[in-house]
Amino acid sequence: ACRAGWRGVAATQRRALCTMSALEAPPLPLLEEGIADARSARAGSPIPSLPPLPDSTMRYLLVLDVEATCDNPQREAHEIIEWPVVAVDCMTAEPVFEFHRYVRPTENPTLSLFCKKLTGISQEQTDAAEPLDVVLKEFDAWLVERGLIDPVTGAQLGQWAMATDGPWDLNHFTARECDRKGIPERAHLRTYLNVRKAFAKTYKLRSSRGCSLAAQLTRLNLKFEGRPHSGIDDTRNIARVLGAMLRKRSVFCLNPNEAADPNVPGRYLSVKFESGGGGVNTLLRGPKKARGARNKAKKAEKEAAAEAAAIDVYVSVKLESGGGLMNAASEGVRGPAMATGGLAETVLAALAPLQSS
């Protein structure tokens, strides 16, 4: 578990890192049903003083980890059935408030047995919930109440961003379902921090592949708290990982690093932000499928060029029953495309002495 990263850190600080989200104090009063401020940190736990944020004015990161309908094998399109959000204060690296709703699927309202066992969500919970369009409106109202979006235009106010563990929550599940159901697009759900990428860069890993939430917690010497694949529990644990990076004052988690493709729901782009928190939206690469098509085209061009430059050719010959070679032009010449043209006659003529010998 990344021992080098722990060198020079006081024991009290290490304990605080490992218990940063063990929130055992009584919850604050509910602001409305299903919406509550996060519990305050354990009374008496030492909270290390943190230096100012480097080159950033980011105030909040709103962690989201949805759950969606699923089956084994998957036959129908996914529909979101849980929308949990935990807001982390970048200044203190602590969770400060939560939003949590179950969502009623409308295309295939009956949950599979596999889905109920995996997520722990019951049919009764989704039947009693609102559909996704209503839940997103409630989420907007929650953001308005905290001064994060304009109540009239819905424009984002202040420095904050969504954060997810990978591109799937906002680009695969949310974007595709909203596009399929005609739910209005929200700008604040398009650009986000991919926590997995930020973690890989913070701890100098070669790639974010294989950098699952469980692997991230293990590297931080933390244990998963709650039930895996419960949306709210997954979100709280992602917030713990994000809090650890914020305590480390990692610059890689202070600005969004991905954005939804504006033309194709389900695809995403990598974006780069200038230091100081200003976004320049410089596209580093395009959608994966588009990149794959370009790579295939380049590979085909190289292969065609190699065939054009090739000089090695060979022909197919046919043996007669008596053992002699029969110069059958119908057998044709096998080799590079250009060789099968004018060189065919030359090569076949070169085989004529073999037949007479």
Give the active site residues. 67, 229
Which residue in this structure is represented by tokens 């849980």? 82
